[in-house]
Amino acid sequence: MPDFSPSSSRPPQVGRRTLLGAAAAATAAPVVLGSASRAAAAPAPRKKPRALPGGGDLGPNVLVFDPSTPGIQARLDEVFRQQESAQFGTGRYALLFKPGTYSGLNAQLGFYTSIAGLGLSPDDTTINGDVTVDAGWFNGNATQNFWRSAENLALVPANGTNRWAVAQAAPFRRMHIRGGLNLAPSGYGWASGGYIADSRIDGQIGPYSQQQWYTRDSAIGSWLNGVWNMVFSGVEGAPAQSFPNPPYTTLATTPISREKPFLYLQGSEYRVFLPEKRTNARGVTWGNGTPRGTSLPLTQFYVARPGVSAATLNQALEQGLHLLLTPGIYHLSEPLRINRANTVVLGLGYATLIPDGGVTAVKVADVDGVRLAGFLVDAGPVNSPTLLEIGPRGASRDHSANPTTVQDVFIRIGGAGPGKATTSMVVNSRHTIIDHTWVWRADHGDGVGWETNRADYGVVVNGDDVLATGLFVEHFNKYDVQWFGQRGRTIFFQNEKAYDAPNQAAIQNGSTKGYAAYRVGDAVTSHEGWGLGSYCYYNVDPTIVQHHGFAAPVRPDVRFHNLLVVSLGGQGQYECVINDTGSPTSGTSTVPSTVVSYP
The H-or-E segment that residue 162 falls in is strand 161-163
CA distance 62 to 116: 11
Whether 575 is catalytic = no
Tell me if 557 sits within 8 A of 526, measured CB to CB.
yes
CA distance 290 to 100: 17
CA distance 227 to 507: 29
3-state secondary structure of 563: strand
The residue type at 596: V
Tell me if 541 sits within 8 A of 500, measured CB to CB.
no
3-state secondary structure of 284: coil
Supply φ then ψ for residue 271, to 5 degrees: -140, 165
Supply φ then ψ for residue 101, to 5 degrees: -120, 135
The gap between the terminal CA atoms of the chain, to the nearest Å, is: 60
Per-residue buried b or exposed e for 559-580, using 16+ beta carbons within 10 Å of the residue's own CB: bbbbbbbbbbbbbbbbbbbbbe
Tell me if 235 sits within 8 A of 220, measured CB to CB.
yes
415: left (phi over 0), alpha (psi -120 to 50) or beta: left
Tell me if 221 sits within 8 A of 197, measured CB to CB.
no
Measured CA to CA in angstroms, residue 298 lies from 55, 145, 263, 269, 295 at distances of: 5, 32, 9, 8, 10
Tell me if 103 sits within 8 A of 73, measured CB to CB.
no
DSSP 81-114: HHHTT-TT-S--EEEEE-SEEEEEEEEE--TTEE
CA distance 347 to 262: 10
Measured CA to CA in angstroms, residue 70 lies from 1, 83, 157, 236, 556 at distances of: 12, 22, 21, 39, 63
The H-or-E segment that residue 384 falls in is strand 384-390
Tell me if 44 sits within 8 A of 38, measured CB to CB.
yes
108-112-114 Cα angle (round to 5): 60
CA atoms within 13 Å, Cβ hemisphere of 549: 34
Catalytic residue among 318, 389, 474, 496: 496
Which residues are known to be catalytic?
496
